[in-house]
Structure 1
Amino acid sequence: MRTFWAALPTEGRWLLSTAAIQTLGRGLTLPFTIIYLHEVRGFDLGLAGALMSIIAVTGLVVTGPGGTLIDRYGARRVLLAGLVAMIAGCTLLAFAASPVVAAVALVLVGVNFGVSWPGFNALIATVVDGELRQQYFGVNFALVNLGIGVGGIIGGFFVDVHQPVTFTAIFLADAASAVVPMALLLGPLRHIRTHADPEAPDAPVDGYRQILRRPAVLSLTLLTFVAVFIGYGQMEAGFPAYARQVSGVSTQVIGFSFAVNTAVIVLLQFAVLKLITGRRRTRVMQVMALIWATSWVLLGLTGLLPDSLAAAIGVLAFMGVFAFGETMLQPTVPAIYNDLASDRNRGRYNAINAAAFQGGAIAGPIAAGLLLGEGRQGWFIGAMVAGSLGVCALALVLERRVPAAANGVPAGDETVAID
C-alpha cells in the first residue's frame, strides 16, 4: 500500500483519500429507501418498488448523453452538474410526502447515478495510467464498499420507522456527502482536463456506433452485461429471495451476509491486486467466473437443508466466495475500457461500461422474479451457474480481440488481437 500510495500523483491521492467519505452518505440511505417510502411515507409496497426502479432507469437513459457531454465539455463540469442534481434529489426526498414528489427526487438522484460512473472513471483514467490504473480501480472499489458498509451500519442503528425525522436526517446527510466531491472538483482537481486534446482540435471523434463496432469493445460490453446479470443484478433480488424462500434463513442472516461481503472485499482487495498484477486481465476474469459459479452452487446446496444452521452457514459462505470474485472483476473491466479509449472518447467508453452494468442490474432482478416466482428454484441456480460459465467463455473470446497492452500483458509477451 505504501508503494502504491507513493506512486500516485497528488490528484490521485485526493480522489482516493475521499472515496469512502463520498459513499458514506449513499450507505446511509441505500438499504432503507424502500422502507422509508413504504413504512414512513405510507406508499404501497408495489408503488415503492416501482419508484425505486426510477433511479436505475434514469441512470441508463442519462448515461449515453452523459458520456458525450464528458467528451465535449470534460468530466469535471458534468460531474458538478450531477452532484447538484444529487443534492437536490436527496433533499427533496427527505420531505417527499407524495409519490409525485418522490418520483421527481429519484429522477434527480438517477441523473447523478448516470453520469457519476463514467465521469469519475474518466477522471481516474486521466490521473493514473498503466498498471497503476488497474490497482487504483481495485483500491477505489474496496474503499467505496467500506464507505457504503459503514454507512449502512450507522443507518441501521440510527433510523427508526416510528421517528420519521431519523429518515429525514439520513437523506440530508446523503445530500451533504456530495459536498466532498464538489469541493475536490472546485479545488484541487479544478485543472484536470479529461476531454479532447487542445493541440488536436480537428481530430475525428468516434461516436457510440463506431466504438461498439470494435470487436474488443463489443465482447467486453457483452461480458460486462452477463457478469452483472448473474452477479450484482441478483444481490438485491435473486439472492435474498432464494435465501428466504428456499434456504429458509432469517432476515438477520441475510443482513449479516452483506456485512460479510463488505468485509471480504475490504480485507482481500489488496492481496488480490498483488496476485493479479502483471497477469492477463482476461485470465483473471475467467478465474472470477469460476469462483462465482462455485458460489452459486453453494447457495443452491443450502436449499437442500432449509431452516437449518447449515443453510445459514451456506448463505454466509456464498456471499464470502462471491465477494472474493468481485475483487477480481472491479480492477480489470474498467481498466480495459480505459486502456482501449483515448482522451477524445473516454467519456463514451465509460458510458458504455456503465450502460452495460445498469442493463444487467435491471434485467437480473426481472429474470430472478420470473424464475423464483414460478417456483423454479433449480432453474434459477442453473441459470446463474451457466451464466458464470458463459462469462468464462466470453473472456476467452475477448482475449483474442483485445490489444495486449489493454489486457495487462507485460511488454515482450504480446499476442495478436483482432481489433
Structure 2
Amino acid sequence: MTFFRKATSWLPQLNSQVWILAAGRFLSGIGTGFTLFYAPIFFVNQVGLSATQVGIGLGSASISGVVGRILGGSFADSQFWGRRRTLLLSAAVSAVASLVLAISNNFHIFVVGNLLMGMGIGLYWPATEAVVADLTQGEQRNEAYALTRLADNLGMGIGIVLGGVLIGTTGAYRELFVLDAISFVVFFGVVYAAIAETYKPGERQQQAFSSWATALRDRSLLIFCLVNIIFTTYISQTQSTMPLYFSNFLRIEESGKGFS
C-alpha cells in the first residue's frame, strides 16, 4: 500500500468519483472513436448515400445537439433530473442512436440516427462538466477538467486507431456502431453504479427561463460562444469532410487511389 501511494503521489489528489467518471468517459470515447471518422466513408461508399446527404445527416446531429444542450443544462439544474439522471438519459439515448445507425440502410434512417445521437451528446456535455465542477474546487478543478478531457481524447484516439484496424482487416463497418452502443451501455453502468448525485439546490432557485435570460444578457459569455462556434466549425470539418476527401477524392500518384 505504501509503495502504491508513493507511485501515485504525482497524480492529482481528486475525488474518487472524478477518476471513475474519467474512466467511464475514456471507455465511451473509445466507442465514439470507432465511428467518428469512418461514418462518412461507410455511408457514402457502402450504403450508397451521396456526400451531400451524409453532410445533411451529420448536420442534423448538430441541430438536435443544440436542443440537447439546452435541455441538458436545464435538466442538470433541476431538482428532479439533476446531473446523474441526465447523464443516464444521455447514455441511453446515445446507445439507441448507435444501434439505429448500425441498421441504417437509407437516408431517412440515417437522419433519425444522427438526430438521436446529437440529442444524446447534447444532454451529456452540460451534465458531465457540472459533475466535475461540483466535485472540485479551485486549482483542483483545473486538474479535474484536464483529466476528464484527457480521458475523452485518449479514448477517442485509441478508438479511431482500433476502428481503422478492424475495418482494414474485416471491412465490418456496421459492427463499429454496435461497439459504440456497447460503450455507451458501459458508461451507463459506470454512472449508475459509481456516480452519486452531486447537484445541491441553493437557497434561491431561479426559474429555467430566468436563468437563460441571465445567460443571454452576459456579453462575455456571448463572445465566448461566438469563438466556440468558429472553432467547432473547423473541428466538424476534420471529423466529417476530411475522412471522405482523403479516401475518395485525393489521388496518390503511385496507385491513382485515395488513402485506405
Q: TM-score, normalised by structure 2?
A: 0.81
Aligned to 2:57: 51
Q: CA deviation at 1:150?
A: 0.9
1:199-348 alignment to 2 at 5 Å? 200=203, 203-205=205-207, 206-214=210-218, 218-229=219-230, 231-237=231-237, 251=246
Aligned to 1:62: 68
Q: CA deviation at 1:89?
A: 0.8
Letter in 2 for 1:194: Y
Aligned to 2:175: 169
Rounded to whole Å, the distance in 1 between the matches of 2:240 and 2:111 is 26
Gaps of 5+ in 2: 1-6, 253-260
Rounded to whole Å, the distance in 2 between the matches of 1:186 and 1:133 is 23
Deviation per residue, 1:254-298 (Å, 9 max, x gap):
xxxxxxxxxxxxxxxxxxxxxxxxxxxxxxxxxxxxxxxxxxxxx
The answer on whether the counterparts of 1:57 and 1:110 sit within 8 Å (CA) in structure 2 is yes
Secondary structure, counterpart of 1:94 in structure 2:
helix
Q: CA deviation at 1:241?
A: 8.1
Rounded to whole Å, the distance in 1 between the matches of 2:178 and 2:121 is 17
Secondary structure, counterpart of 1:187 in structure 2:
helix
**Pair 1:154-2:184 in alignment:** no
When the two chains are superposed, the root-mean-square deviation of aligned CA atoms in Å is 2.8
Letter in 1 for 2:47: R
Rounded to whole Å, the distance in 1 between the matches of 2:240 and 2:101 is 26
**Pair 1:119-2:123 in alignment:** no
Aligned to 1:134: 142
Q: CA deviation at 1:251?
A: 3.8
The answer on whether the counterparts of 1:87 and 1:176 sit within 8 Å (CA) in structure 2 is yes
By relative contact order (CA 8 Å, sep 6+), the higher-ranking structure is: 2
Q: CA deviation at 1:61?
A: 2.0
The answer on whether the counterparts of 2:215 and 2:221 sit within 8 Å (CA) in structure 1 is no
Deviation per residue, 1:136-157 (Å, 9 max, x gap):
1112222211111111111112
Q: 1:221 to 1:132 in 2, by over 3 A?
A: farther
Rounded to whole Å, the distance in 1 between the matches of 2:84 and 2:126 is 11
Larger radius of gyration: 1
Letter in 1 for 2:126: P
Instruction: Decide which of 100, 114, 117 is 2:108's aligned counterpart.
Output: 100
Rounded to whole Å, the distance in 2 between the matches of 1:102 and 1:251 is 22
Aligned to 2:192: 186
The answer on whether the counterparts of 2:94 and 2:181 sit within 8 Å (CA) in structure 1 is yes
Rounded to whole Å, the distance in 1 between the matches of 2:100 and 2:164 is 22
Q: 1:141 to 1:4 in 2, by over 3 A?
A: farther
Deviation per residue, 1:298-336 (Å, 9 max, x gap):
xxxxxxxxx9xxxxxxxxxxxxxxxxxxxxxxxxxxxxx
Letter in 1 for 2:179: A
Gaps of 5+ in 1: 243-249, 253-306, 308-419
The answer on whether the counterparts of 1:58 and 1:107 sit within 8 Å (CA) in structure 2 is yes
Runs of 4+ residues over 3 Å off in structure 1:
1-6, 160-163, 202-206, 238-242
Identity of aligned pairs, percent?
Answer: 21
1:19-34 alignment to 2 at 5 Å? 19-34=25-40
Secondary structure, counterpart of 2:198 in structure 1:
coil
**Pair 1:83-2:99 in alignment:** no
Secondary structure, counterpart of 2:37 in structure 1:
coil
Q: CA deviation at 1:35?
A: 1.1
The answer on whether the counterparts of 1:34 and 1:48 sit within 8 Å (CA) in structure 2 is yes
Q: TM-score, normalised by structure 1?
A: 0.52
Rounded to whole Å, the distance in 1 between the matches of 2:47 and 2:169 is 10
Letter in 2 for 1:233: T
